Structure 1
Amino acid sequence: MTVLAITEHRRGDVRDVSYELVTAGRELADDLGTDLELAVIGGDVEGFAEDVNRDGVDTIYTVDEGEEFNHGVYTQAIEQLAAEVEPTALLMPNSVNGLDYAPAVAEGLDLPLVTDVVDFETNGNLEVTREQYGGKVETTYDIDADDYALTIRPAEWPKAEAAGDAAVEAFDADIDEGALGTTVNGFEEVGGGDVDITEADVLVSIGRGIDEEENLPLVEELADTLGATLSSSRPIVDNGWLPKNRQVGQSGKVVTPDVYIAIGISGAVQHVAGMKGADTIVAINTDPNAPIYDIADYGIVDDLFEVVPELIEEFGGEAPDL
C-alpha cells in the first residue's frame, strides 16, 4: 500500500503543481499510514527528481523516456509502475497534460477516477470534495473503493518547500513504440503566448471597473512601474481588450504570485478560483461589499482612477493622461 503521485514538467521546468502534489500526497499518505512515492517521467529525470525531492517523500521513481509530454509514454509508464508498486491512491495533476492521460490510466488500471479535487479526508472510506456550478457549490463524494485515482486542482494545496532525502530509483518501463499512436516532434506556444502569467511574482489585474479600453494605459503604467505583469478577469478578454493568455480564473489560468493586485474586480467565484492561492491579495474597488474583499489581505475602497495614479507616483512612475 502506498500513495503514488505523478509529477509534471514543461519546457525543462518542474511545474508548481508537482510541489503541491507532494503536500497533498503526504497528507493522504499520513491519513492512510503509508509511504508517499513520486514518479518523474521524461526530460531531465535526474534533475527533476532532485527538484521534487522534498520533505515527506519516501521514494522517487524516474522513467527516462522522451523529452516532452507524450500521452502513450505516460500511460504505459504509469500503468507499469502502478503494477509494480501497487498504490492505494494514484494522484495526478488536474492540468492539460494530467487530464489527457488520467482517464486512460484509470481505465487501464480499473480504478475509479475523481477529477478536479479541491479537498479530501479519510473516514474509513475516502471523501473527496469538488466544486460545481462555477464554484458556487461544493460537493463531497464518498469513494467506496480500496484503490482509486484522483486529479488534484492546482493551487489548492501549498507547495512543499523543505528539502527531503527520498531514495531515487530508476524504473525501466517497457514502452511499446508501436502502440504510442503519436510522436512528439517539439513544443510550440500557440495563441498569444507573449507572457506566462503563471510564472509572474507580481500581477496587476484589471476587471470591469476600468470601464473602457482607452483606460488600460493607466493600469499598464502601474504594472510597468512595479515591474509587474498585467492580467485580467474574463470580461476584459471577452471584450477583446487583452489576449486570452492574460485571463485569470476558472476559464483562464490559475496563478499563485507573491502579490496579486485586483483593480476594479468584483471577485466572482470563477475569478477567485484562479487567484486565491496568491500570497498577498490587494483589492481596489468602490464597492465595500464586493466579494473580492472576503479574500483580500489589504483593501482600498475608492475609485481606481483616483487610487492608481497616486500609486504610480508613489512608486516613482508617471501616470498617463486619459
Structure 2
Amino acid sequence: MSGDVLAITEHRRGDLRDVSYELITAGRQLADALGGDLHLAVISGEVSDFADQLNRDGVDAIHTVDEGEEFNHDVYTQVITQLYDELQPGAVVMPNSVNGLDYAPAVANRLDLPLVTDAIDFSADGTLEVTREQYGSKVETTVEVDADHVALTIRPGEWPAAEGTGDAEIATFDATIDESAVKSTVTGFEEVGGGDVDITEADILVSVGRGIKEEENIELVQALADALGATLSSSRPIVDNGWLPKNRQVGQSGKVVTPDVYIAIGISGAVQHVAGMKGSDTIIAINTDPNAPIFDIADYGIVDDLFDVVPALTEQFE
C-alpha cells in the first residue's frame, strides 16, 4: 500500500473539535509510512477560518467545502466520495466519534473500501498494520490490511494535537451535492442532562469514583473542583448509581477526555475508565490502595484516605 492520506476534520457549533488536530498527527504518521502527502478536508461551517486554524506542521493541502453549517450525513458522504475520486488516496482517516461513526461506514461502502475502526496506532512496511483494543481494552490486537486502499477511524485522545504553523495550500473543492439525496438536516442542539457542561473541553477535570461511598459525599469533591476552577466528572459506577448524569462519565462507555490535568479520586483504574483518560497531560491519583491500577499511569499519586486528602487540598487552593 502506498499513496496520500485524506483526513476528515470535525467541528461542532462553530468550533473545531480536538480530534481534528489529533487527525493531523495521526494522518502525518500514516502518510510518512505510506510515502505520500497529507490532505485535510474541511466540510461545512466557517471553512476558511477552520482551514487557517488547521494549517499546521505536517499538512500538505487543505480542501474546503462550504456546504451548510453543521454536520450532515448525506453531505459528508457525497463530498468525501468525490474528494476520494479526485485524490485517490491510499487511506481515508476519520474520527472515531459520534459523527465519524455515522458516515465512515457509508463512505467505505460507497468506495468499496475495507473499514478498520477505533485505531490507536498503525505502521506500514509494505503492509498496513492497524492496532486496536478489544474486550474492554483488555486485549490489544493488530489487524493487517490486505488492500491497496483503506478507510480508518482513529480513537480520540490517542495522538497528540498537531502544533506549529504550516504552509499548506488551501483550496476550495467544488463538490456537486445531489440535494435530492440529502434526507436530513440539523434543526438544533439539545444537551443531555447536566446543562451545557462538556467534559471533553475542560482543561482540568476532577473525577470521582466508587471510593466516594455515598452520593452526599460528592459535594466534597465538587468543592475541590470549584477551588481549582475545574469541571467535575466521574467513573461509570457513579453514573450507574444515578449520582451524576451520563455526560459526566469518563471512559470507554462514556467520553474520551484529554485535559491538562486529570485528578482521579477514589477511582481504581479499570481498563474501561483508563481508555477514556490516559491521554491527559498530567494524571494525579488519590486512592487508599497502593496497588490500584490507576497508579500505573498516574504522574503523581497519593496513597491515603480521600476524606482526609480532598478537604486539605481544597483548603490549600482556596
TM-score band w.r.t. shorter chain: over 0.9
Please say which of residues 175-184 and 137-146 is displaced more in the overlay: 175-184
Residues 1-322 of structure 1 correspond to what in structure 2 (within 5 A)? 1-316=3-318
Aligned residues: 316
TM-score by length of 1: 0.97
Letter in 1 for 2:112: D
Identity within the alignment, %: 78
1:31-80 CA-partner distances (Å, limit 9, x unpaired): 11110000000000000001111101000000110001100000000000
Asked if the contact 1:193/1:245 (under 8 Å) is kept, the reply is no
Gaps of 5+ in 1: 317-322
Letter in 2 for 1:148: V
Asked if the contact 1:45/1:62 (under 8 Å) is kept, the reply is yes
- Structure 1 residue ranges (4+ consecutive) displaced by more than 6 angstroms after TM superposition: none
- The answer for the alignment partner of 1:320 in structure 2 is none
Asked if the contact 1:204/1:263 (under 8 Å) is kept, the reply is yes
Shift of 1:180: 1.2
1:71-95 CA-partner distances (Å, limit 9, x unpaired): 0000000000110011101000000
Write the distance in 1 (CA, Å) between the matches of 2:187 and 2:280. 35
Write the distance in 1 (CA, Å) between the matches of 2:68 and 2:286. 47
Gaps of 5+ in 2: none
Shift of 1:250: 0.4
Asked if the contact 2:208/2:235 (under 8 Å) is kept, the reply is yes
Asked if the contact 1:68/1:187 (under 8 Å) is kept, the reply is no
Write the distance in 1 (CA, Å) between the matches of 2:50 and 2:8. 12
Shift of 1:2: 1.1
Shift of 1:304: 0.3
Letter in 1 for 2:169: A
Letter in 2 for 1:308: V
Letter in 1 for 2:24: V
TM-score by length of 2: 0.98
Write the distance in 2 (CA, Å) between the matches of 1:164 and 1:280. 28
1:157-206 CA-partner distances (Å, limit 9, x unpaired): 00001111100010011000001111222333234333101111111100
Write the distance in 1 (CA, Å) between the matches of 2:138 and 2:155. 16
Asked if the contact 2:192/2:247 (under 8 Å) is kept, the reply is no
Write the distance in 2 (CA, Å) between the matches of 1:183 and 1:211. 44
- Aligned-partner SS, 2:19: helix
Write the distance in 2 (CA, Å) between the matches of 1:192 and 1:228. 15
